[in-house]
Structure 1
Amino acid sequence: MWLSSKSRSKVHSFLTLFLCDRNYFFQFLLLKKKLWK
């Protein structure tokens, strides 16, 4: 299934946002663990 360049860039930006959000989420969890100790 080939996507058009516009939708492909949309998917790419969505994936980038998703990965960044996940990284922030993990950092948040680590911070929480440190604070709970």
Structure 2
Amino acid sequence: MTINFSTPHDDIEMKPRITVVGWVELAVMLSTT
């Protein structure tokens, strides 16, 4: 995935999605341990 810093709007839109995905992956790792 490429992040284009020349488009602040897109960067702001993507950050919440990346955070959610990160928490989901973390929860999956903890549940499968």
The CA RMSD over aligned residues, in Å, is 1.3
Give me the TM-score of the superposition, normalised by structure 1. 0.62
**TM value normalised by structure 2:** 0.67
For structure 2, the 5+ residue unaligned runs are 1-5
Aligned residues: 28
Q: Hey, which of these two has a bigger chunk of helix by percent? A: 1
| Structure having the higher Rg | 1
Q: Following TM superposition, where does structure 1 have runs of at least 4 consecutive aligned residues deviating by more than 4 angstroms?
A: none
Q: Percent identity?
A: 11
Q: Mark the runs of 5 or more structure 1 residues left unpaired by the alignment.
A: 1-6
Asked which structure has the greater RCO (Cα within 8 Å, sep 6+), the reply is 2
